Chains A and B, each alone.
Chain A
Amino acid sequence: MERKLMLGNEAFARGLYEAGCGFVSSYPGTPSTEITEFAAKYPEIYAEWAPNEKVAMESAFGACLAGKRSFCGMKHVGLNVAADPLFTISYTGVNAGMVIAVADDPGMHSSQNEQDSRHYAIAAKVPMLDPSDSEEALEFTKLAYEISEKFDTPVIVRMCTRIAHCQSSVKLSERQQLPDKPYVKNIAKYIMMPGMAKKRHPVVEQRTKALTEWAETAPVNRIDEGSDSSLGIITASTCYDYVKEVCADKYPVLKLGMVNPLPEKLIKDFAAKVKKVIVVEELDGIIEAHCSSIGVKTTGKELFGNIDELMPNIVAEKLGVPYSTGSKLSEEIPGRPPVMCAGCPHRGLYYILKKHNLTVLGDIGCYTLGATAPLNATDTTICMGASVSGLHGFNKAGAAGLTGKTVAVIGDSTFMHSGITGLVNIAYNESASTVIILDNSTTGMTGHQQNPTTGFNLKGDPCTKIDLESLCRAVGIRRVRVVDPYNLQQVEEAVKEEVGCGEPSVIISRRPCALLKTVRHPGPIIVDESKCIGCKACMKIGCPAISIVGKKAVIDQTQCVGCNVCAQLCRQNAIGKKEA
């Protein structure tokens, strides 16, 4: 069959298709999002965005129970949210196969921490496959379903940024046609109350033993022979690519495609044939710790550390392979951090919060960027939903001087994910908290996914639209109001009235993301040079389209969309539409 260049995530989706997967439920999160987006393009696969990863995983479990091969995908921190079902689905096992993708982000290209998901596979006692390129992402996904059904377990396929977002060539096959597996009621297997769970735990331990046995000879773990046995390298995932890149076929390499459970005999036999063993793995020393536990002496983390992603030159250096470096300019190159886009609806709101010197508990999304200069508007970013629950605790602590000066900001998708329960707590335990929902009608940072508040589903079809105002009122918030963040006066009035009103309140700051294709912009505005006095008032909002050239403000006409927020800050009335 044909070969095609595919992103790791696209190849993963192809694997779902070829394996006959019939149900997909995920929550977007970089670098996992495209698996589900590509899966949704196959008409044979039912695919949806769930409000969060826990819902996605439980739905995927339900679907596998009903007899369809199912899938849920998430980024590494998403597995924290879905950990609860994972640990117990490990006990119940599956009916039809169930596969979970978790995408790690070594180097934190787009994440709030650098956690290593392999720990979850060990802790939940479920098998985990770890592909090194798109071809393996496709093949391992199909294999994961076989393992899932053969060993009666959910299977995790671990992706990481460099595999998920790298295109390489894959071989395509036909879709496997599978009948639905009949569902049979079996309370000893599926009702995990203590008496039953006690009987399932030994089954899980037995399964791990059987999987370890399988791992000894499974082709997914393989040895690439080398010409020089003074060193043997054990590696997996992206690190395999780096090792082969810098060493080619010099040293024997044990490539582990399954990182939980790890084989014993295979590793011991490999180690016996070489003089010394180095483990090359990103993040934590999980393979290395396993080697040590079975009495195989290795080095690894003392060379590579457990911080940041590895790169070819580091691997070359530590393995003693020569490598070259390029020539640098001697001068300091200013950084280019990501910024909120020109016309971003969050900008006006943040300006007002900053102006009133409020403490702002932030959340996960594009609006996390409000923390950066010159807005410096937010104080915290922890995890999905932490702004709302954190605000409740912050206010209830009753610290002197802080009361009535703090708000939470959370996006529409993040609010649906994990903000609602925090808001229920604010209403129930009555804290005088003001939550600001930044409703930009999309899930922005991950690349514009639909969510329950947008009125469209993953396939792009119109669907039930959750009404944020009604939802907030329904959980017991009496003060709910909507503002347009392009209108600074309106935002300021709302913030002044709601913050410190003495009871729970919600402000919905509503304006679609400026990058949405459906948004019609009025078009760029300009600075009247004769009126501009160079006071830099317009610079306070940190718009990437405005800069000072000479002593006057200039608006970059290629970036400006005409949101007019800067014009509202100009006391000289120097900013406005170009006169026709």
Chain B
Amino acid sequence: MTKNIMIVGVGGQGTLLASKLLGKLFLEKGLDVKVSEVHGMSQRGGSVVTYVRYGEKVFSPVIDKGQADIIISFEILEAARYVDFLKKGGSLITNTQQINPMPVITGAAEYPSELENKLKALDINLECFDALSIARQAGSQKAVNLALLGKLSNHFDFSEQQWLDTIETSVPAKFVEMNKKAFLLGRNA
């Protein structure tokens, strides 16, 4: 059975590294994997989405509405935007951080209030947590992606060591320790 994970966020938040790490782990497990990214214009602060699919044989590079087992969101408005991609009973893991999109900044739209409560009312498993604080605690606000990945890691049966080894081979040497720290803090949050 193919499993579907979506990683959503704001361009520039480091969503691509999270999908790269997941892809590596599933491939090493001997599974077929597809990881789809969008490059170019939407990376400039726009809403971005990455699809990670794994299983015996994966065909579609993308995940459609109602098909995702897990969505991991780097920003809560993006969680709300993509929540209908989740299967009934699927898991939504979201950072509680708010980043105002330009229509909100210019006053053309309002940032919806109480998103956390509204998401809770849906037929999904919701895990909200403050990944930005965890990242700061680990030493850099840029480590939000690893904090979220840490939280997500509890959904799979890879060992902690497997995750840490993959991090080690996927990020520049000088950031390894900080990223591992953010990952572990997220995993235990």
Contact = CB atoms under 8 A, between A and B. Distances in A.
Interface of A: 3, 5, 7, 30-31, 33-34, 109-110, 133, 161-163, 165-169, 238, 240-242, 244-245, 311-313, 323-329, 331-341, 366, 369, 372-374, 445-447, 539, 542, 544, 546-548, 558
Nearest to B31: A169
Contact of A544 (B40, B63, B81, B102): B102
Contact of A373 (B24, B66, B108): B108
A339 B43 CA distance: 9
Nearest to A248: B59
Contact of A338 (B44, B63, B108, B119): B44
B39 A30 contact: yes
Contacts of A240: 59
A338 B11 contact: yes
A337 B65 contact: no
Q: How would you classify the secondary structure of chain A's contact residues: helix, strand, loop or mixed?
A: loop
Given A339-B102, A341-B44, 5 more contacts: A165-B37, A327-B122, A332-B112, A334-B108, A547-B105
A328 B108 CA distance: 22
Nearest to A4: B27
Contact of B59 (A169, A242, A336): A242
A333 B112 contact: yes
Interface residues on B, range: 35 or more
Q: Which of B24, B45, B46 is the most central at the interface, judged by chain A CB atoms within 10 Å of its CB?
A: B45
A217 B96 CA distance: 56
Which 6 A-B pairs give the minimum distances between C-beta atoms? A110-B40, A30-B40, A338-B46, A334-B109, A336-B101, A166-B61
A110 B42 contact: yes
A31 B39 contact: yes
Contacts of A313: 64-67
A241 B10 CA distance: 28
A109 B41 contact: yes
A327 B88 contact: yes
Q: Which of A165, A168, A331 is the most central at the interface, judged by chain B CB atoms within 10 Å of its CB?
A: A168
B122 to A, nearest CB: 5
B46 A339 contact: yes
A244 B23 CA distance: 21
B84 interface: yes
B123 interface: yes
Given A326-B88, A544-B102, A109 B40 contact: yes
B59 A241 contact: yes
A354 to B, nearest CB: 14
Contact of A3 (B27, B62, B66, B111): B27
19 contacts: A33-B39, A166-B36, A167-B20, A324-B66, A327-B122, A328-B83, A332-B112, A334-B101, A334-B108, A335-B103, A336-B101, A337-B102, A338-B41, A338-B42, A338-B43, A339-B44, A339-B102, A366-B44, A373-B106
Interface in B41-75: 41-47, 58-68
Q: Which of B62, B83, B101, B141 is the most central at the interface, judged by chain A CB atoms within 10 Å of its CB?
A: B62
A326 B85 contact: yes
Contacts of A245: 59-60
Contact of B123 (A33, A327, A445): A327
A174 to B, nearest CB: 21
Contacts of A334: 77, 101, 103-104, 108-112
A542 B44 contact: no
A328 to B, nearest CB: 4
Nearest to B23: A5
Nearest to A168: B34
B118 interface: yes
B118 A329 contact: yes
A325 B24 CA distance: 29
Contacts of A163: 61
Contacts of B65: 313, 325-326
Contacts of A325: 65-66, 84
B105 to A, nearest CB: 5
A110 B43 CA distance: 10
Given A5-B24, A326-B85, A445 B47 contact: no
Given A333-B77, A338-B11, A5 B33 contact: yes
B33 A374 contact: no
A253 to B, nearest CB: 11
B27 to A, nearest CB: 5
A337 B35 contact: no
A430 to B, nearest CB: 36
Nearest to B38: A109
A386 B36 CA distance: 33
A169 B32 contact: yes
Contact of B112 (A168, A331, A446): A331
